[in-house]
Chain A
Amino acid sequence: GAVVSQHPSWVICKSGTSVKIECRSLDFQATTMFWYRQFPKQSLMLMATSNEGSKATYEQGVEKDKFLINHASLTLSTLTVTSAHPEDSSFYICSATVAGGSYNEQFFGPGTRLTVL
Protein backbone atom coordinates (compact mmCIF):
# COMPACT_ATOMS: atom_id res chain seq x y z
CA GLY A 1 0.00 0.00 0.00
CA ALA A 2 0.84 3.72 0.02
CA VAL A 3 2.16 3.93 -3.52
CA VAL A 4 2.85 7.24 -5.18
CA SER A 5 3.50 7.48 -8.89
CA GLN A 6 5.07 10.27 -10.91
CA HIS A 7 4.88 10.87 -14.60
CA PRO A 8 7.01 11.28 -16.59
CA SER A 9 10.11 9.65 -15.11
CA TRP A 10 12.35 11.87 -17.17
CA VAL A 11 11.82 14.61 -19.67
CA ILE A 12 14.02 16.65 -21.98
CA CYS A 13 12.60 19.88 -23.28
CA LYS A 14 13.69 22.99 -25.11
CA SER A 15 14.25 26.26 -23.34
CA GLY A 16 11.08 28.35 -23.22
CA THR A 17 8.63 25.46 -23.22
CA SER A 18 6.46 24.33 -20.32
CA VAL A 19 6.57 20.92 -18.70
CA LYS A 20 3.89 19.29 -16.56
CA ILE A 21 4.73 16.64 -13.97
CA GLU A 22 1.96 14.53 -12.44
CA CYS A 23 1.98 13.03 -8.97
CA ARG A 24 -0.65 10.45 -8.04
CA SER A 25 -1.39 8.56 -4.86
CA LEU A 26 -2.52 5.20 -6.23
CA ASP A 27 -4.06 3.45 -3.26
CA PHE A 28 -4.84 6.15 -0.75
CA GLN A 29 -6.27 9.63 -0.56
CA ALA A 30 -3.59 12.14 0.23
CA THR A 31 -4.34 14.87 2.71
CA THR A 32 -1.30 16.82 1.69
CA MET A 33 1.17 16.63 -1.15
CA PHE A 34 4.66 18.09 -1.28
CA TRP A 35 6.93 19.03 -4.15
CA TYR A 36 10.68 18.90 -3.76
CA ARG A 37 13.63 19.75 -5.91
CA GLN A 38 16.95 17.99 -5.57
CA PHE A 39 20.26 18.99 -7.09
CA PRO A 40 23.00 16.39 -7.55
CA LYS A 41 24.59 15.24 -4.31
CA GLN A 42 22.36 17.53 -2.27
CA SER A 43 19.42 17.07 0.03
CA LEU A 44 15.79 17.62 -0.83
CA MET A 45 14.61 21.20 -1.01
CA LEU A 46 10.93 21.74 -0.32
CA MET A 47 9.30 23.86 -3.00
CA ALA A 48 5.67 23.87 -1.93
CA THR A 49 3.00 22.19 0.13
CA SER A 50 -0.41 21.63 -1.36
CA ASN A 51 -3.74 20.56 0.05
CA GLU A 52 -6.58 19.41 -2.15
CA GLY A 53 -8.82 22.21 -3.26
CA SER A 54 -6.70 25.03 -1.92
CA LYS A 55 -3.81 27.06 -3.19
CA ALA A 56 -0.34 25.70 -2.66
CA THR A 57 1.91 27.24 -0.05
CA TYR A 58 5.27 28.04 -1.60
CA GLU A 59 8.56 28.17 0.24
CA GLN A 60 10.51 31.38 0.30
CA GLY A 61 12.42 31.94 -2.89
CA VAL A 62 10.25 29.68 -5.05
CA GLU A 63 8.54 31.56 -7.87
CA LYS A 64 4.81 30.84 -7.86
CA ASP A 65 4.35 31.93 -11.46
CA LYS A 66 7.14 29.71 -12.67
CA PHE A 67 6.25 26.58 -10.72
CA LEU A 68 2.48 26.19 -10.95
CA ILE A 69 0.98 23.64 -8.64
CA ASN A 70 -2.54 22.31 -9.02
CA HIS A 71 -3.97 19.89 -6.49
CA ALA A 72 -7.19 18.98 -8.23
CA SER A 73 -8.18 15.94 -6.21
CA LEU A 74 -7.16 13.87 -3.21
CA THR A 75 -5.10 11.64 -5.50
CA LEU A 76 -3.56 14.02 -8.02
CA SER A 77 -1.24 16.99 -7.89
CA THR A 78 0.57 18.53 -10.84
CA LEU A 79 3.64 20.72 -11.08
CA THR A 80 4.05 22.78 -14.23
CA VAL A 81 7.40 24.36 -14.91
CA THR A 82 6.55 27.30 -17.13
CA SER A 83 8.98 28.77 -19.65
CA ALA A 84 11.66 26.36 -18.56
CA HIS A 85 15.31 27.35 -18.71
CA PRO A 86 18.49 25.29 -18.30
CA GLU A 87 18.79 26.35 -14.65
CA ASP A 88 15.45 24.59 -14.00
CA SER A 89 17.09 21.28 -14.84
CA SER A 90 16.85 19.17 -11.73
CA PHE A 91 15.31 16.11 -10.09
CA TYR A 92 11.76 16.83 -8.95
CA ILE A 93 10.15 14.57 -6.37
CA CYS A 94 6.65 14.61 -4.99
CA SER A 95 5.39 13.05 -1.81
CA ALA A 96 2.03 12.52 -0.21
CA THR A 97 0.82 12.03 3.29
CA VAL A 98 -2.45 11.03 4.84
CA ALA A 99 -3.63 12.31 8.19
CA GLY A 100 -4.01 9.58 10.77
CA GLY A 101 -1.48 7.24 9.19
CA SER A 102 0.86 5.09 11.26
CA TYR A 103 3.58 7.69 11.50
CA ASN A 104 2.10 10.31 9.21
CA GLU A 105 5.14 9.66 7.07
CA GLN A 106 5.52 11.02 3.59
CA PHE A 107 5.30 8.51 0.76
CA PHE A 108 7.47 9.48 -2.16
CA GLY A 109 7.07 9.20 -5.88
CA PRO A 110 10.00 7.87 -7.92
CA GLY A 111 10.96 11.35 -9.11
CA THR A 112 11.16 13.13 -12.46
CA ARG A 113 14.45 14.10 -13.98
CA LEU A 114 14.06 17.29 -16.01
CA THR A 115 16.68 18.44 -18.48
CA VAL A 116 16.16 21.75 -20.23
CA LEU A 117 18.30 22.29 -23.31
Chain B
Amino acid sequence: DSGVTQTPKHLITATGQRVTLRCSPRSGDLSVYWYQQSLDQGLQFLIQYYNGEERAKGNILERFSAQQFPDLHSELNLSSLELGDSALYFCASSVEGLRGGPLSEQYFGPGTRLTVT
Protein backbone atom coordinates (compact mmCIF):
# COMPACT_ATOMS: atom_id res chain seq x y z
CA ASP B 1 0.00 0.00 0.00
CA SER B 2 1.57 3.24 -1.21
CA GLY B 3 -0.56 5.48 0.98
CA VAL B 4 -2.04 7.23 -2.07
CA THR B 5 -5.76 6.67 -2.52
CA GLN B 6 -7.83 7.17 -5.64
CA THR B 7 -11.55 7.03 -6.16
CA PRO B 8 -13.43 5.65 -7.90
CA LYS B 9 -11.63 2.50 -8.96
CA HIS B 10 -13.72 2.11 -12.09
CA LEU B 11 -15.82 4.58 -14.01
CA ILE B 12 -17.98 3.91 -17.04
CA THR B 13 -19.60 6.83 -18.79
CA ALA B 14 -20.83 7.98 -22.16
CA THR B 15 -19.26 10.27 -24.72
CA GLY B 16 -19.86 13.94 -24.05
CA GLN B 17 -20.13 13.47 -20.31
CA ARG B 18 -18.01 14.96 -17.52
CA VAL B 19 -16.33 13.04 -14.71
CA THR B 20 -14.23 13.85 -11.65
CA LEU B 21 -11.42 11.65 -10.40
CA ARG B 22 -10.20 12.10 -6.86
CA CYS B 23 -6.81 11.56 -5.27
CA SER B 24 -5.53 11.79 -1.72
CA PRO B 25 -1.75 11.95 -1.44
CA ARG B 26 0.42 10.26 1.13
CA SER B 27 0.50 11.96 4.47
CA GLY B 28 3.11 14.71 4.38
CA ASP B 29 3.45 14.85 0.59
CA LEU B 30 2.80 18.26 -0.89
CA SER B 31 3.07 17.40 -4.58
CA VAL B 32 0.44 15.59 -6.58
CA TYR B 33 0.96 14.38 -10.13
CA TRP B 34 -1.57 13.01 -12.61
CA TYR B 35 -0.66 10.50 -15.31
CA GLN B 36 -2.65 8.83 -18.07
CA GLN B 37 -1.89 5.26 -19.13
CA SER B 38 -3.26 4.08 -22.45
CA LEU B 39 -2.27 1.30 -24.81
CA ASP B 40 -1.27 3.60 -27.63
CA GLN B 41 0.32 6.47 -25.70
CA GLY B 42 1.82 4.59 -22.77
CA LEU B 43 2.25 6.46 -19.49
CA GLN B 44 2.04 10.21 -19.96
CA PHE B 45 2.39 13.01 -17.47
CA LEU B 46 -0.60 15.31 -17.35
CA ILE B 47 -0.13 17.88 -14.60
CA GLN B 48 1.54 18.55 -11.25
CA TYR B 49 0.34 20.54 -8.25
CA TYR B 50 2.41 21.60 -5.29
CA ASN B 51 0.73 22.82 -2.13
CA GLY B 52 -2.30 24.03 -4.03
CA GLU B 53 -0.54 25.63 -6.98
CA GLU B 54 -0.03 24.31 -10.48
CA ARG B 55 3.69 23.54 -10.99
CA ALA B 56 4.01 21.81 -14.32
CA LYS B 57 1.84 20.86 -17.24
CA GLY B 58 2.33 18.02 -19.65
CA ASN B 59 0.17 16.64 -22.42
CA ILE B 60 -3.09 17.63 -20.82
CA LEU B 61 -6.00 18.40 -23.10
CA GLU B 62 -7.92 21.66 -22.73
CA ARG B 63 -11.00 19.57 -21.90
CA PHE B 64 -9.18 18.35 -18.80
CA SER B 65 -8.51 20.39 -15.68
CA ALA B 66 -7.25 19.73 -12.20
CA GLN B 67 -6.96 21.39 -8.84
CA GLN B 68 -5.44 20.74 -5.43
CA PHE B 69 -7.40 21.72 -2.36
CA PRO B 70 -6.16 23.10 0.98
CA ASP B 71 -6.26 19.62 2.51
CA LEU B 72 -3.94 18.61 -0.38
CA HIS B 73 -6.31 16.19 -2.07
CA SER B 74 -6.59 16.68 -5.80
CA GLU B 75 -9.29 16.27 -8.40
CA LEU B 76 -8.93 15.71 -12.12
CA ASN B 77 -11.91 16.85 -14.15
CA LEU B 78 -12.46 15.39 -17.60
CA SER B 79 -15.19 16.92 -19.75
CA SER B 80 -16.73 16.41 -23.19
CA LEU B 81 -15.42 12.88 -22.98
CA GLU B 82 -14.42 11.03 -26.13
CA LEU B 83 -13.84 7.34 -26.74
CA GLY B 84 -10.11 8.02 -26.86
CA ASP B 85 -10.13 9.26 -23.27
CA SER B 86 -10.64 5.69 -22.09
CA ALA B 87 -7.53 4.92 -20.04
CA LEU B 88 -6.10 4.31 -16.60
CA TYR B 89 -5.54 7.53 -14.71
CA PHE B 90 -2.93 7.45 -11.99
CA CYS B 91 -2.25 9.91 -9.26
CA ALA B 92 1.14 10.05 -7.58
CA SER B 93 2.55 12.09 -4.75
CA SER B 94 5.96 13.12 -3.52
CA VAL B 95 7.51 15.32 -0.92
CA GLU B 96 9.29 17.48 -3.50
CA GLY B 97 7.71 20.21 -5.48
CA LEU B 98 10.03 23.14 -5.47
CA ARG B 99 12.77 23.17 -8.06
CA GLY B 100 16.17 21.89 -7.17
CA GLY B 101 17.54 18.61 -5.93
CA PRO B 102 16.83 15.12 -7.25
CA LEU B 103 13.43 13.52 -7.01
CA SER B 104 13.44 10.92 -4.28
CA GLU B 105 10.35 8.94 -5.22
CA GLN B 106 6.83 9.32 -6.50
CA TYR B 107 4.27 7.08 -4.82
CA PHE B 108 1.49 5.91 -7.09
CA GLY B 109 -2.13 5.23 -6.31
CA PRO B 110 -3.98 2.17 -7.66
CA GLY B 111 -5.49 4.18 -10.51
CA THR B 112 -8.97 4.89 -11.84
CA ARG B 113 -9.99 2.98 -14.93
CA LEU B 114 -12.15 5.17 -17.12
CA THR B 115 -14.21 3.61 -19.87
CA VAL B 116 -16.03 5.92 -22.26
CA THR B 117 -18.73 4.22 -24.33
Report if A and B associate in a common complex.
no
